[in-house]
Amino acid sequence: MINKYRKKINRIDSEIIRLLGERKTVCLKIGEHKKDNGDNIFDKQREEEISMKLKQRAEIEGLDEKYIKKVFEVIIGDSKRIQAELKNG
């Protein structure tokens, strides 16, 4: 029985990784746009919007808000790093 659940976890983990790859592709496109238009990498208002939406979604899903915030700090931090490298590279 536990193997069934482990296989399901493995599928979910693979899907998370696939989605992170898709997110990176979109992030690169946004980075190209920012580079071409001279836009800043950091957008405080956008990050606040994301934070609010994540908080609401975490609540709907019954997830700890602090946990989701930590996960997305890493994800968003990586997006900013990728875009900065693109802009400066």
pLDDT-based confidence at 37, cuts 50/70/90? very high
- Residue ranges and CATH numbers for the domains of the chain are 2-88 (1.20.59.10)
For the segment 7-32, the average pLDDT, to the nearest whole number, is: 97
Give pLDDT tens digits for 52-79.
999 999 999 999 999 999 999 999 999 9
Mean pLDDT, rounded, for 41-53:
93
pLDDT confidence of residue 10: 98
DSSP string across the chain: -HHHHHHHHHHHHHHHHHHHHHHHHHHHHHHHHHHHHT--S--HHHHHHHHHHHHHHHHHHT--HHHHHHHHHHHHHHHHHHHHHHHH-
Is the per-residue pLDDT at 89 higher than 90? Answer: no
Return the pLDDT at 9: 98
